[in-house]
Amino acid sequence: MAGKAFRFGVVAAAGEGGAKWRETALRAEALGYSTLLSPDNLTLPTPTAALAAAAAVTTDLRVGSFVLASPLRTARAAAWEAHSLTAITEGRFELGLGTGLPSMRQQAEELGLPYGSGQERLDSISETVDHVRRLDGDAHTPVMIAAGGPKARVLAGKKADIVTLAGGPLTTREETAGQLGEIRAAAGGRDVEFAMNIWVVGEQVPPWIRGFIGVDAETLIAHDSLAMLRGSVDEMAAELERRREELGVSYFSVNGAFIEEFAPLVARLAGK
């Protein structure tokens, strides 16, 4: 299938202090990454502050939330933050939205907010997008929705500019293709960019990543996991081209632990 030009993002957290975070932003820009993406969790600095700081020390690097969890803000508050970042960065902000992990129930309680049912959290995402569109006026904040279940995929197809699948690390290629088909069907003729997050580059899974995704390298390899990219630079480039050709995915983000290992692919493929 015809695909968009490749672009690449880095998912990193500003948990090690401002100097290290600014260094990460500058390095990502120097290596040719399109976007620096920040996760959303009460144990980390808020993405609003982190992304504003990253944009302030870079020139062309885009910044984005990966992703704002709907239980941690009201829809109006999330839209306020998003539009503010679009204005401050002069259009370099991408708003990533998701329903949040089950572990965020306690974090929502700390903020005095309801965690909500699955439908309520999806409704909050939809309302956030509507608020952003109203606040933007003539501007346009690109919206990425992390789509896990069927209802999220339909919502993403209808309202997102960018869609990243939020399935598990062992989701097969066939299952992924089917889920992307659902999104395309919901999008109708809308132009949607498809994204995918790569957790592991190479064949070694750092302990903290293994704890988060719940599987080891051997399991990822045995299942031909799309969460992993391995082999030579030529082999990895061919695999990304295969994913674009077969699935239509052209926007790949990589965990910040692998920013240097992934850089040769950015140099080879970005913009092509």
Structure tokens at 268: 């080879």
pLDDT at position 129 over 70: yes
pLDDT at position 174 over 90: yes
Residue range 121-139: mean pLDDT, rounded: 97
Nearest to 202, CA basis, from 183, 221, 188, 189: 221
Per residue in 211-267, pLDDT tens?
989 999 999 999 999 999 999 999 999 999 999 999 999 999 999 999 999 999 999
Per residue in 185-196, pLDDT tens?
999 999 999 999
Q: So what's the pLDDT on residue 259?
A: 97
Polymer length of the chain: 272
Q: What percent of the chain has pLDDT over 90?
A: 94
When mean pLDDT is compared across 13-17, 54-58, 78-82, 135-139, the lowest value belongs to 13-17
Asked if the structure places residue 217 within a domain, the reply is yes
Total domains, the chain:
1
The radius of gyration of the chain from alpha carbons, rounded to an integer in Å, stands at 18
Asked if the structure places residue 243 within a domain, the reply is yes
Asked if the structure places residue 158 within a domain, the reply is yes
Residue range 103-108: mean pLDDT, rounded: 94
Structure tokens at 113: 């907010």
Per residue in 47-100, pLDDT tens?
999 999 999 999 999 999 999 999 999 999 999 999 999 999 999 999 999 999
Q: So what's the pLDDT on residue 2?
A: 59
Q: So what's the pLDDT on residue 1?
A: 60
Asked if the structure places residue 101 within a domain, the reply is yes
Q: So what's the pLDDT on residue 15?
A: 87
Q: So what's the pLDDT on residue 103?
A: 87
Asked if the structure places residue 130 within a domain, the reply is yes
| 216 contacts 202 by C-beta, under 8 angstroms | no
What secondary structure letter does DSSP report for 93?
E
Q: So what's the pLDDT on residue 226?
A: 97
Asked if the structure places residue 2 within a domain, the reply is no
Cβ neighbours for 102, distance < 8 A, ≥ 6 positions apart: none
Asked if the structure places residue 1 within a domain, the reply is no
Q: So what's the pLDDT on residue 10?
A: 98
Domain span holding position 60: 7-269
Q: CA-CA distances (angstroms) from residue 255 to 103, 201, 258?
A: 21, 9, 6
CATH assignment of the domain containing 197: 3.20.20.30
